[in-house]
Amino acid sequence: MRLLPVISTALLAACSARDDIPAPLIASIVPDHATPGSIVTVDGSYFCQDPSPNPDDPTCAIAGTVQFGTVPGTPTTWADDAIMVEVPQQSGMVTVTVTAVGRTSNGVAFTVQ
């Protein structure tokens, strides 16, 4: 009788290609206030969540969302260190977050005028 090695499902679930990449991190939003329909830049890092980014092309597939409170913005460009996004229809102070490949960033205050 031949015994086959057993691989624990828990071990497989614990390791992925993105384990060594931190969650997305927002450093700033420029400008820090805007009207709906305006384009703002979310600056930060790890927005692509790609373990091997191409240094010749900093953009990545839009694989996530930019939330202005509970309302998603519309990204126009998405790179590992910056996202240009259209401010959605709403008003007041909101918290902006970036979610990429299921991982959510810190929140940054933003005013929709």
pLDDT in tens, the chain (113 residues): 555 555 444 444 444 556 788 999 999 999 999 999 999 999 999 999 876 656 677 778 767 999 999 999 999 999 999 999 999 999 999 999 999 999 999 999 999 99
Q: What is the pLDDT of residues 71-103, one digit of tens each?
A: 999 999 999 999 999 999 999 999 999 999 999
Whether residue 10 is contained in a domain is answered as no
- Ranges assigned E (strand) in the chain: 25-30, 33-34, 39-45, 64-68, 71-72, 74-78, 82-86, 92-100, 103-104, 108-112
> Residue 76, CB half-sphere, CA atoms under 13 Å: how many?
11
Which CATH number is 81's domain given? 2.60.40.10
Q: What are phi and psi of 9, to 5 degrees?
A: -60, -35
> By the 8 A CB rule, do 34 and 112 touch?
yes
For residue 78, tell me if it sits in a domain.
Answer: yes
Number of domains in the chain: 1
Residue 66 amino acid letter: V
Per the structure, the complete domain to which residue 34 belongs is given by 21-112
Q: What is the pTM of this model?
A: 0.81
